[in-house]
């Protein structure tokens, strides 16, 4: 079949955290090599990949999941993602084998099993990957599934200066994800318009659940009391 060239903004888009440039370079270049994916590197502040308006993907190396020392940090990270995103997927990636390193045998631990079952119990998806290339392939598949469910990311890549100014403002709203803030930049004609929107309007424009929209609405209308400042 001849390659189709969908219009700019109509292609599936994945947002990638800038930190992944150092840790997952191969993932990024594989994503770009996969035809028809728009890969945007953004300062996502600790979210590895955003594949749709509601889904974040956390890439974790197997060795980190096996050790008890990193467990607390991992749990805190997932909890943070839960406050921002409706859906979470964890990709457990096999560590790269260094030549002559036999000590790094994968030995399953109780810690690893208990993490997996806790994730399953909370409805967090888990995928297993043998390396960075496969991780990229899984990310692509996830974004396609999300697109079929009409929650794919479709935003023009270029922000006007006006929108650039509004982005940090929207990002400072508690528990808001980068993609939600981006959607706000694009969908609200001005920040004033957003501040005077009903929860329904916020839900439609920011592409968030009704519950999330209520939360944002409450924040915008929250009355400041100087006595409460720490």
CA distance 31 to 63: 24
* Cβ atoms of 143 and 37 closer than 8 Å: yes
> Which residue in the set 67, 169, 200, 211 belongs to the binding site for another protein (CB under 8 A)?
169
* Cβ atoms of 177 and 50 closer than 8 Å: yes
Of the listed pieces 13-21, 36-44, 51-59, 215-223, which binds another protein according to CB under 8 A? 215-223
Q: Rule CB under 8 A: is residue 224 a binding residue for another protein?
A: yes
- In order of 12, 35, 41, 53, 151, the CA distances from 6 in angstroms are 9, 11, 21, 20, 17
Total interface residues for another protein by CB under 8 A: 59
Is beta strand 87-93 parallel, antiparallel or unpaired with respect to 125-129? parallel
Our CB check for another protein shows the closer of 47 and 119 to be 119
Query: Which strands, in side-by-side order, build the sheet including 37-42?
Result: 37-42, 12-17, 49-50, 55-61, 87-93, 125-129
Is 16 buried (19+), middle (13-18) or exposed (0-12) by CB count in 10 A?
Answer: buried
> Which residue in the set 27, 142, 184, 206 belongs to the binding site for another protein (CB under 8 A)?
142
> Which residue in the set 45, 67, 190, 198 belongs to the binding site for another protein (CB under 8 A)?
190
- In order of 20, 57, 191, the CA distances from 134 in angstroms are 15, 14, 41
Q: Rule CB under 8 A: is residue 221 a binding residue for another protein?
A: yes
Our CB check for another protein shows the closer of 21 and 141 to be 141
Cβ 227 to another protein, closest distance in Å? 9
Residues 99-138 as x/- pattern, contact with another protein by CB under 8 A: -------x-x-x--xx-xxxxxxx-xxxxx-x---x--x-
Q: Point out which residues bind another protein (CB under 8 A).
A: 75, 78-79, 82-83, 106, 108, 110, 113-114, 116-122, 124-128, 130, 134, 137, 141-142, 145, 156, 160, 162-163, 165-166, 168-169, 171-174, 185, 189-193, 195-196, 219-226, 228-230
């Amino acid at each position: 079949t001849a390659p189709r060239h969908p219009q700019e903004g109509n292609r599936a888009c994945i947002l990638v955290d800038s930190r992944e440039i150092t840790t997952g370079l191969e993932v990024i270049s594989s994503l770009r090599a996969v035809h028809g994916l728009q890969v945007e590197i953004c300062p996502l502040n600790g979210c590895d990949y955003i594949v749709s308006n509601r889904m974040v993907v956390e890439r974790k190396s197997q060795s980190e999941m096996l050790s008890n020392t990193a467990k607390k940090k991992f749990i805190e990270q997932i909890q943070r993602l839960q406050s921002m995103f409706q859906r979470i997927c964890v990709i457990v990636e096999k560590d790269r084998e260094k030549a002559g390193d036999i000590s790094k045998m994968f030995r399953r631990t109780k810690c690893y099993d208990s993490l997996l079952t806790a994730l399953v119990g909370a409805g967090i998806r888990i995928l297993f990957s043998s390396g960075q290339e496969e991780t990229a392939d899984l990310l692509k598949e996830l974004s396609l599934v999300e697109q079929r469910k009409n929650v794919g990311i479709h935003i023009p890549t270029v922000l006007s200066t006006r929108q650039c100014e509004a982005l940090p403002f929207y990002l400072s709203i508690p528990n808001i994800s980068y993609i939600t803030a981006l959607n706000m930049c694009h969908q609200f004609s001005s920040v004033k318009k957003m501040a005077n929107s009903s929860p329904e309007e916020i839900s439609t424009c920011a592409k968030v659940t009704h519950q999330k929209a209520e939360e944002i609405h409450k924040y915008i209308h929250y009355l400041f009391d100087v006595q409460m400042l720490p």
